[in-house]
Amino acid sequence: MNTNNIIFTSLKVLLGALMIIFGLNKFLGFIPVEPPADEVAQTFLGTMFTSYLFKVVALAEILGGLLLFIPRAAFIGVLILLPVIFNIVSFHLAHDMPGNGIWLGPTFIFMGILFFYKDKFKNFLVS
């Protein structure tokens, strides 16, 4: 196994574990989350927490994270996690820029995984 494969596998395992943990946290609440300072962000999250959307996002995080552990299904996991990560980044850039910074870890890990899947994305978009 060469160094690139080790890095790629490590990134997938790390992101998969993070997504499963944070997805389960939405159901079980074992990690306390500070509310954002921005009033609009608080309203958005309050609405999300009291609707179906919160559970859908949690299930997408768990499913995408689990698929990252299965080599043949990892790309599908990346496709499922793409809108989740995009929305996490968009939310923090728009409403909670400094925030707690925990969103940066999964974002950079995801970008690393996207780098390794760049050829697969080219094929996916062309076909």
pLDDT score of 98 more than 70: no
- Banded pLDDT at 96 (limits 50, 70, 90): confident
Q: Enter the pTM of the model.
A: 0.91
User: What is residue 44's predicted lDDT score, i.e. its pLDDT?
Assistant: 87
Phi, psi of 105 (to 5 degrees): -60, -60
What are 34-91's pLDDT values in tens digits? 888 788 888 988 898 899 999 999 999 999 999 999 999 999 999 999 999 999 999 8
CA-based end-to-end distance of the chain: 30
Four-CA torsion 122, 124, 126, 127, nearest 10 degrees: 150
> Over the stretch 3-44, which tens digit does the pLDDT of each residue have?
999 999 999 999 999 999 999 999 999 998 888 878 888 898
